[in-house]
Structure 1
Amino acid sequence: MESATEPLRDVLRQVEVRRPEINVYSNVDAKRYMHEGHVRRQLAKQLVSPVKWEQTLHEVFERTQGQSFPHTYEVGPGKQLGATLQKCNMKAYKSYTHVDVTTHDD
Protein backbone atom coordinates (compact mmCIF):
# COMPACT_ATOMS: atom_id res chain seq x y z
CA MET A 1 0.00 0.00 0.00
CA GLU A 2 3.00 2.28 0.35
CA SER A 3 2.96 2.90 -3.40
CA ALA A 4 -0.63 4.22 -3.17
CA THR A 5 0.20 6.86 -0.54
CA GLU A 6 1.48 9.57 -2.89
CA PRO A 7 -1.32 9.16 -5.47
CA LEU A 8 -3.84 9.46 -2.64
CA ARG A 9 -2.13 12.63 -1.39
CA ASP A 10 -2.38 14.05 -4.92
CA VAL A 11 -6.11 13.30 -5.08
CA LEU A 12 -6.70 14.75 -1.62
CA ARG A 13 -5.04 18.01 -2.74
CA GLN A 14 -7.55 18.25 -5.61
CA VAL A 15 -10.77 17.61 -3.70
CA GLU A 16 -12.56 19.80 -1.22
CA VAL A 17 -12.01 18.61 2.33
CA ARG A 18 -13.85 20.41 5.08
CA ARG A 19 -13.48 20.42 8.82
CA PRO A 20 -15.83 17.76 10.21
CA GLU A 21 -19.03 19.10 11.75
CA ILE A 22 -19.23 16.11 14.10
CA ASN A 23 -16.48 14.22 15.87
CA VAL A 24 -14.64 12.01 13.39
CA TYR A 25 -11.68 9.98 14.60
CA SER A 26 -8.54 8.95 12.76
CA ASN A 27 -7.62 5.25 12.70
CA VAL A 28 -3.96 6.29 12.67
CA ASP A 29 -3.74 7.87 16.13
CA ALA A 30 -7.29 7.61 17.55
CA LYS A 31 -7.58 11.42 17.73
CA ARG A 32 -10.33 13.64 16.36
CA TYR A 33 -9.73 15.28 13.01
CA MET A 34 -9.21 18.96 13.81
CA HIS A 35 -8.97 20.73 10.43
CA GLU A 36 -8.72 20.11 6.70
CA GLY A 37 -4.95 19.63 6.63
CA HIS A 38 -5.15 17.12 9.46
CA VAL A 39 -7.76 15.10 7.56
CA ARG A 40 -5.59 15.03 4.43
CA ARG A 41 -2.44 13.97 6.30
CA GLN A 42 -4.13 11.28 8.33
CA LEU A 43 -6.04 9.74 5.43
CA ALA A 44 -2.80 9.23 3.52
CA LYS A 45 -1.13 7.71 6.60
CA GLN A 46 -4.10 5.43 7.11
CA LEU A 47 -3.09 3.39 4.06
CA VAL A 48 0.11 2.21 5.71
CA SER A 49 -0.60 2.44 9.44
CA PRO A 50 -2.12 -0.12 11.76
CA VAL A 51 -5.67 0.65 12.87
CA LYS A 52 -5.86 1.88 16.47
CA TRP A 53 -9.31 0.40 16.98
CA GLU A 54 -9.30 -0.08 20.75
CA GLN A 55 -7.66 3.33 21.33
CA THR A 56 -10.26 4.95 19.08
CA LEU A 57 -13.08 3.37 21.07
CA HIS A 58 -11.54 4.70 24.29
CA GLU A 59 -11.45 8.21 22.79
CA VAL A 60 -15.01 8.00 21.48
CA PHE A 61 -16.46 6.73 24.75
CA GLU A 62 -14.38 8.74 27.21
CA ARG A 63 -16.79 10.34 29.69
CA THR A 64 -16.56 12.28 32.91
CA GLN A 65 -18.06 10.59 35.95
CA GLY A 66 -21.84 10.65 35.77
CA GLN A 67 -21.96 11.58 32.09
CA SER A 68 -24.12 9.15 30.12
CA PHE A 69 -22.91 7.21 27.12
CA PRO A 70 -24.38 7.84 23.67
CA HIS A 71 -26.40 5.03 22.18
CA THR A 72 -24.23 3.13 19.73
CA TYR A 73 -25.60 1.26 16.72
CA GLU A 74 -23.71 -1.29 14.68
CA VAL A 75 -25.40 -1.83 11.34
CA GLY A 76 -24.47 -4.79 9.21
CA PRO A 77 -23.91 -8.50 9.20
CA GLY A 78 -21.17 -8.63 11.85
CA LYS A 79 -21.03 -7.84 15.55
CA GLN A 80 -17.34 -6.95 15.91
CA LEU A 81 -17.97 -3.53 17.45
CA GLY A 82 -20.22 -5.07 20.10
CA ALA A 83 -17.69 -7.78 20.91
CA THR A 84 -14.93 -5.19 21.24
CA LEU A 85 -17.05 -2.90 23.42
CA GLN A 86 -17.98 -5.83 25.64
CA LYS A 87 -14.28 -6.53 26.22
CA CYS A 88 -12.99 -2.99 26.70
CA ASN A 89 -15.90 -0.78 27.84
CA MET A 90 -18.86 -2.48 29.49
CA LYS A 91 -20.62 0.84 30.22
CA ALA A 92 -20.57 1.70 26.52
CA TYR A 93 -21.65 -1.84 25.65
CA LYS A 94 -24.81 -1.40 27.73
CA SER A 95 -25.94 1.33 25.30
CA TYR A 96 -25.09 -0.72 22.20
CA THR A 97 -27.57 -2.16 19.69
CA HIS A 98 -26.83 -4.38 16.72
CA VAL A 99 -29.06 -3.87 13.68
CA ASP A 100 -28.91 -6.83 11.33
CA VAL A 101 -28.99 -6.22 7.61
CA THR A 102 -30.39 -8.86 5.34
CA THR A 103 -29.98 -8.95 1.60
CA HIS A 104 -32.58 -10.07 -0.87
CA ASP A 105 -31.73 -11.62 -4.20
CA ASP A 106 -33.67 -10.13 -7.11
Structure 2
Amino acid sequence: MTHSFVLGIQDAVLEPEPLDPEQIVSGRPEVTGKVVWESPDGRQLRGIWQITPGVVTDTEADEMFVVVSGSATVEVKNGPTLTVGPGDMAVLRAGDETVWTVHETLRKAYVINL
Protein backbone atom coordinates (compact mmCIF):
# COMPACT_ATOMS: atom_id res chain seq x y z
CA MET A 1 0.00 0.00 0.00
CA THR A 2 1.26 3.46 -0.89
CA HIS A 3 1.02 6.20 1.69
CA SER A 4 0.78 9.94 1.15
CA PHE A 5 4.09 11.74 1.56
CA VAL A 6 6.03 14.98 1.11
CA LEU A 7 9.47 15.18 -0.47
CA GLY A 8 11.66 18.27 -0.83
CA ILE A 9 12.52 18.32 -4.53
CA GLN A 10 15.47 20.70 -4.21
CA ASP A 11 17.20 18.61 -1.52
CA ALA A 12 16.27 15.10 -2.68
CA VAL A 13 19.23 12.76 -3.07
CA LEU A 14 19.27 11.40 -6.62
CA GLU A 15 20.93 8.27 -8.01
CA PRO A 16 23.12 8.18 -11.15
CA GLU A 17 21.27 7.23 -14.36
CA PRO A 18 24.00 6.71 -16.97
CA LEU A 19 23.23 8.05 -20.42
CA ASP A 20 23.69 5.89 -23.49
CA PRO A 21 26.81 7.44 -25.10
CA GLU A 22 24.92 7.55 -28.42
CA GLN A 23 22.50 10.07 -26.87
CA ILE A 24 25.24 12.60 -26.11
CA VAL A 25 25.61 15.21 -28.85
CA SER A 26 28.06 17.48 -27.02
CA GLY A 27 29.48 18.20 -23.60
CA ARG A 28 29.63 15.76 -20.71
CA PRO A 29 26.09 15.78 -19.35
CA GLU A 30 25.34 13.62 -16.34
CA VAL A 31 21.87 12.43 -15.39
CA THR A 32 20.57 11.56 -11.92
CA GLY A 33 17.08 10.73 -10.80
CA LYS A 34 14.73 9.12 -8.35
CA VAL A 35 11.39 7.40 -8.90
CA VAL A 36 9.32 8.32 -5.85
CA TRP A 37 6.15 6.44 -6.85
CA GLU A 38 5.32 3.72 -9.35
CA SER A 39 1.91 2.21 -10.07
CA PRO A 40 1.50 -1.52 -9.38
CA ASP A 41 1.48 -2.24 -13.14
CA GLY A 42 4.60 -0.10 -13.71
CA ARG A 43 2.85 2.10 -16.28
CA GLN A 44 2.78 5.30 -14.23
CA LEU A 45 5.84 6.92 -12.67
CA ARG A 46 6.34 10.00 -10.50
CA GLY A 47 9.81 11.27 -9.78
CA ILE A 48 12.65 13.75 -9.89
CA TRP A 49 15.22 13.99 -12.68
CA GLN A 50 18.31 16.14 -13.14
CA ILE A 51 20.76 16.73 -15.98
CA THR A 52 23.95 18.81 -16.08
CA PRO A 53 24.82 21.10 -19.03
CA GLY A 54 25.32 19.57 -22.45
CA VAL A 55 23.29 18.43 -25.45
CA VAL A 56 21.49 15.06 -25.59
CA THR A 57 18.88 13.33 -27.71
CA ASP A 58 15.91 11.37 -26.40
CA THR A 59 12.70 9.66 -27.46
CA GLU A 60 10.07 10.76 -24.99
CA ALA A 61 7.35 9.02 -23.04
CA ASP A 62 3.97 10.64 -22.32
CA GLU A 63 5.23 13.10 -19.71
CA MET A 64 4.29 16.24 -17.83
CA PHE A 65 7.03 17.95 -15.85
CA VAL A 66 7.68 21.09 -13.83
CA VAL A 67 11.15 22.62 -13.80
CA VAL A 68 12.38 23.35 -10.30
CA SER A 69 15.78 24.81 -11.20
CA GLY A 70 18.02 25.34 -14.22
CA SER A 71 17.15 25.89 -17.85
CA ALA A 72 17.10 24.10 -21.18
CA THR A 73 15.89 24.33 -24.73
CA VAL A 74 14.02 21.24 -25.95
CA GLU A 75 13.71 20.91 -29.73
CA VAL A 76 10.90 18.53 -30.74
CA LYS A 77 11.41 17.00 -34.19
CA ASN A 78 8.61 18.20 -36.49
CA GLY A 79 7.27 20.24 -33.57
CA PRO A 80 7.94 23.23 -31.37
CA THR A 81 11.10 24.35 -29.62
CA LEU A 82 10.41 24.64 -25.89
CA THR A 83 12.42 26.93 -23.63
CA VAL A 84 12.01 25.85 -20.01
CA GLY A 85 13.14 27.28 -16.70
CA PRO A 86 12.11 27.39 -13.04
CA GLY A 87 8.36 27.22 -12.56
CA ASP A 88 7.62 26.15 -16.14
CA MET A 89 5.39 23.17 -16.83
CA ALA A 90 5.88 21.25 -20.07
CA VAL A 91 4.15 18.34 -21.75
CA LEU A 92 5.91 15.88 -24.06
CA ARG A 93 4.11 13.27 -26.15
CA ALA A 94 5.08 9.61 -26.34
CA GLY A 95 7.40 9.11 -29.30
CA ASP A 96 8.54 12.74 -29.54
CA GLU A 97 12.14 12.77 -30.75
CA THR A 98 13.90 15.57 -28.89
CA VAL A 99 17.23 17.34 -28.58
CA TRP A 100 17.83 18.81 -25.13
CA THR A 101 20.30 21.70 -24.87
CA VAL A 102 20.83 22.13 -21.14
CA HIS A 103 22.13 25.61 -20.30
CA GLU A 104 22.17 25.30 -16.48
CA THR A 105 21.81 22.08 -14.49
CA LEU A 106 18.10 21.32 -14.78
CA ARG A 107 16.04 19.60 -12.08
CA LYS A 108 12.42 18.67 -12.71
CA ALA A 109 9.56 16.82 -11.06
CA TYR A 110 7.75 14.58 -13.51
CA VAL A 111 4.71 12.40 -14.14
CA ILE A 112 5.13 9.73 -16.82
CA ASN A 113 2.49 7.44 -18.30
CA LEU A 114 3.85 4.47 -20.27
TM-score (norm 1): 0.26
Structure whose residues are more often strand by fraction: 2
TM-score, normalised relative to structure 2: 0.24
Q: Does 1 or 2 have the higher relative contact order (CA < 8 Å, sep 6+)?
A: 2
Please say which structure displays the higher CA radius of gyration.
1
